[in-house]
């Protein structure tokens, strides 16, 4: 049995819970035909044929070795659960129809946290999905034991690096809101697709930024089809990143689009506070950002105290109130009370145009978040 066939058999419980057909599940099973058809793949040629029309290029390992200068350390961009990522450059002579451009080449680490099934999921989902706020997958390599992915190059790297890197200039308030809006549009597109997709691993390190700080979702290794028909959720093993995972998913394994909304709420807190979703270097009660910050979001005096101090008061107070209120809704422990991602987009859309305003270091507002109150100077 080939590695592809073994991998796809082990892939089944990750994508969805497949049971004997019944009237209730008939529509759900039909929506998974694109995956079912691939479970019997036995070669990279079959994969290429199945993805015909996706405009993905199938690279050889030698081609990718050449464009990255043998995966040299000078081209190293970073490393995640999938494996190391190197920058490369494709010239217009490499193959017809492929323009000259810089690329990011991700190499699957066979001893890492992710494996062939996550690699295959990424190829399938990004091979079929196209959106301005999803990173573009240019092609892949499936040769012998090698599994690589080739993406468009994102010059500013991940939001995690931009937001939390020490000794770097802080992201301005307006840029943070622009990034939040772009990421929200990416999630909304997935949730509203003809065959809805649940991202399942939404976090700062999976949001990549181009030169203009346009946000694009990357790393679809844990993505899965959403529920359809009469089903209210998808039952899966619990995967994701601690600190971002919705509480109901952690407790039951029941996955819905609202699980992604919760993760978005955590990211919004990171943008507001400049703190990581989980930080063991902080005092015990402050280590889990959502647990610590949520009770403070509806009190404006407390909110102003937890806003990222690196902004030095250069933010729009009314915009911060609206963003905090939105984060509070996204973090509701009742999934049905969370907004849809399309509602999140509508809420964030006007915030990107709010100017960065200096509040001054000693100015705060007293009272409830939803009331207008005079500013009080100390």
| Residues with catalytic roles | 201
DSSP code of residue 151:
E
Q: Identify the residue whose tokens are 């079912």.
A: 36
**27-58: burial string, b at 16+ Cβ within 10 Å, e else:** ebbebbeebeebbebeebebbeebbeebebbb
CB 254 within 8 A of CB 219: no
Name, in order, each residue with C-beta under 8 angstroms of 216's C-beta and a sequence gap of 6 or more.
132, 133, 134, 135, 136, 154, 182, 186, 207, 208, 209, 210
How far from 16 is each of 37, 100, 378, CA to CA, in Å?
15, 39, 57
Angle between the 173-191 and 317-330 helix axes, to the nearest 10 degrees? 30
How far from 127 is each of 23, 121, 237, CA to CA, in Å?
31, 9, 24
DSSP string, 119-145: HHHHHHHHHH---TTBPPEEEEEEETT
- Rg (the chain; Cα; Å): 22
DSSP string, 14-74: HH-------TTTHHHHHTTHHHHTTTT--SHHHHHHHTTTS--EE--HHHHHHHTTTT-GG
CB 70 within 8 A of CB 155: no
Distance of CA 149 to the CA centre of its chain: 17
* 3-state SS assignment for residue 79: strand
Task: Report the C-alpha gap between 240 and 12 in whole angstroms.
Answer: 17
């Amino acid at each position: 049995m080939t590695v592809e066939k073994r991998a796809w058999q082990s892939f089944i419980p990750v994508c969805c819970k497949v049971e004997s057909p019944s009237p209730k599940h008939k529509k759900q099973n039909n929506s998974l035909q694109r995956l079912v058809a691939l479970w019997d793949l036995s070669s990279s040629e079959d994969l290429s044929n199945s993805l015909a029309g996706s405009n993905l290029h199938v690279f050889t390992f030698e081609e990718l070795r050449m464009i990255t200068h043998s995966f040299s350390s000078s081209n190293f961009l970073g490393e995640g659960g999938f494996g190391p990522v190197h920058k490369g450059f494709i010239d217009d002579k490499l193959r017809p129809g492929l323009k000259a451009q810089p690329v990011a080449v991700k190499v699957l680490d066979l001893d890492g946290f992710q494996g062939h099934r996550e690699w295959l999921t990424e190829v399938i989902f990004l091979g079929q999905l196209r959106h301005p706020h999803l990173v573009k997958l240019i092609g892949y390599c499936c040769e012998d034991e090698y599994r690589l992915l080739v993406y468009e190059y994102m010059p500013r790297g991940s939001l995690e690096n931009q937001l939390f890197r020490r000794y770097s200039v802080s992201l301005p308030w307006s840029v943070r809101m622009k990034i939040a809006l772009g990421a929200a549009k990416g999630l909304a597109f997935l949730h509203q697709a003809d065959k809805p997709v649940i991202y399942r691993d939404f976090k700062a390190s999976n949001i990549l930024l181009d030169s203009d700080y346009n946000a694009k979702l990357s790393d679809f290794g844990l993505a899965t089809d959403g529920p359809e028909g009469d089903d209210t959720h998808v039952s899966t093993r619990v995967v994701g990143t601690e600190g971002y995972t919705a509480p109901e998913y952690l407790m039951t394994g029941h996955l819905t689009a609202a699980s992604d909304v919760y993760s978005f709420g955590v990211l919004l807190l990171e943008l507001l506070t400049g703190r990581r979703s989980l930080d063991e270097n902080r005092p015990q009660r402050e280590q889990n950002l959502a647990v610590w910050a949520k009770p403070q979001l509806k009190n404006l005096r407390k909110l102003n105290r937890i806003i990222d101090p690196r902004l030095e008061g250069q933010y729009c107070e009314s915009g911060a109130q609206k963003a905090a209120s939105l984060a509070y809704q996204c973090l509701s422990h009742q999934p049905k009370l969370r907004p849809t991602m399309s509602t999140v987009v509508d809420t964030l859309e006007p915030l990107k145009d709010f100017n960065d305003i200096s509040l001054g270091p000693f100015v705060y507002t007293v009272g409830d978040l939803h009331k207008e109150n005079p500013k009080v100077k100390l």
